[in-house]
Structure 1
Amino acid sequence: MVALELDSPIPISALQHAVYCLRQAALIHIERVWAENRLTAEGRVFHGVAHEAGSRKSRGVRRVNALPLACKRLNIVGVADVVEFHAGPDGETAFPIEYKRGKPKLHRADEVQLCAQALCLEEMTDRPVRTGALFYGETKRRVVVSFDAELRKLTEGTAIVFGALVGEGRTPPPVWKASRCRACSLVELCRPQAMTKSALSFRQRAIAAAFALGSAADEPTS
């Protein structure tokens, strides 16, 4: 895959937003709209600890906090919460760790964000990065993620699709999905239910009007 050429790189976090909801990603990263709720506030505080820059080494593992990342091929940039560099016979192997406040999700948004970090590390170190981990604050456990071909394809495809939206400056229309919309901090600004219902009712009125007009045209004239 070949990424689009854009003036500014795309934040890695935008890919996480795009997998969760393309409209949410566009509102945040194209229209620069933001609102905070309890979930985003807790996540911000949780990430604040991980983003305290620093480096330490223990038992052959070098641990770097708040490591800046970039991948020119996909035109993405970001900051890794933590990257462990594990010593081996051929050099160090990177192992990115992303901190999340909640628990594992049914969708793959968190995995895509972590995989994007791995793609950056591969380009920066010129070494393969095969696995990483998501650490969830609610469970206090790591979930190891394998960067297989399917996840890499999803991550690269998301970068290209969202890059195209950024290039066009286009925000997709809302689509109501209760399980995601109710947890979204932008739900009051996005108003997916109201806008979706308005579009549906407009279409229904237009169809009814067209039908009535057609029926009137078929009536015999005196």
Structure 2
Amino acid sequence: MENISLSALQHYAFCPRQCALIHNEQAWAENFLTAQGRALHERVDSGEPETRKGVRFERSVHVAAEKLGLSGILDMVEHDIQTGRLKPVEYKRGKPKPEPFDEIQLCAQAMCLEEMTGQSVSEGALWYMQTRHRVPVAFSDGLRVQTLDVIRKVRELLDSGITPPPEYGKRCKACSLVEICQPQLLERDRSKGYVAGLFGYSILFWGN
């Protein structure tokens, strides 16, 4: 079983069609928001490991969890030298969202660390560039169940090879793939119904 990229989980939570376009069709386009996010991650990932106040900060940490079927690169993992506890930290361009897109991705990172190290990871953090604020995230049973459900759904989507139809909404304005996806155009496309109706009429006509 091929591992799913951790980034696919957030793409799916944001929009299943976006997830399929990126990870099945290999489609990608960049806009101001994604370019800003990429620059942020490059800045974070390029930093050297360091230790401050008993905490080791490891950047660009590669993980692969075979049981979960996930792999990817974590922005940062904080390692408490005294207790040995690990804490994943994910850096985001924007601000906290009402939906748990970011929390699901972070929880999946924690579950990868758990599988690889054999120790429990109880919490992590999300740092948002727009607010310059760090948000703690507790990996509750409910969040873990939600994360496992998203992993299952992403696996089913990618294995199917099917790209879901568009569902135009507010999130489309922030999506860099909006020109490739064409959600408004495809939602309004009635050509299939027109052709079906046309051929249905023709069959009835010829039958008489």
Question: Is TM (by shorter chain) over 0.5?
Answer: yes
Partner residue in 2 for 1:183: 174
**Is 1:80 aligned to 2:74, yes or no?**
yes
% identity of equivalent residues: 44
Which residue of the partner structure matches residue 103 of structure 2? 111
Cα displacement string for residues 140-197 of structure 1 (whole angstroms, at most 9, x for unaligned residues): 11001111111111111111111112112111111111x2011100011101111111
Alignment-derived partner of residue 71 in structure 1: 65
Report the secondary structure of 2:131's partner residue. Answer: coil
Partner of 1:129: 121
**Structure 1 Cα separation of the partners of residues 125 and 3 of structure 2:** 24
Q: What's the offset of the Cα at 1:198?
A: 1.2
The TM-score, its normalising length taken from structure 1, stands at: 0.85
Partner of 1:165: 157
- Residues 54, 66 of structure 1: 8 Å contact kept: no
CA contact (8 A) 1:53 1:67 kept: no
> How many equivalent pairs are there?
204
Q: Which has the larger radius of gyration?
A: 1
RMSD over aligned CA atoms reads 2.2
**1:41 positional shift:** 0.3
Whole-Å Cα distance in 2 between the matches of residues 36 and 105 of structure 1?
21
> Once the two structures are superposed, what CA deviation does each residue of 1:23-80 show, in whole Å capped at 9, x if it has no partner?
0011001100000000000000011011116321121111100000121111110111
Give the Å deviation of 1:87. 3.2
Q: Are residue 94 (structure 1) and residue 86 (structure 2) matched?
A: yes
Partner of 2:185: 194
- Candidates 28, 35, 45, aligned match of 1:51: 45
Note the C-alpha offset of 1:205.
Answer: 9.1
Q: Does 1:10 align with 2:4?
A: yes
| Runs of 5+ unmatched residues, structure 2 | 201-208
Instruction: Return structure 1 stretches of 4+ with deviation > 4 angstroms.
Output: 201-207
Equivalent AA in structure 1 for residue 186 of structure 2: M
The C-alpha deviation readout for 1:111-137, integer Å capped at 9, x for no partner, is 111111100111111111111000000
- Partners of 2:45 and 2:149 lie apart in 1 by 28
2:91 is paired with a residue whose SS is strand
SS in 1 for 2:40: helix
Given the two structures, how large is their TM-score scaled by the length of structure 2? 0.90
**Any stretches of 5+ residues in structure 1 without a counterpart?**
1-5, 211-222
Once the 2 structures are TM-superposed, how far is the Cα of residue 203 of structure 1 from its aligned partner? 4.7
Q: Within 1, Cα distance between the matches of 2:132 and 2:44?
A: 14
Task: Give the letter aligned to residue 106 of structure 1.
Answer: P
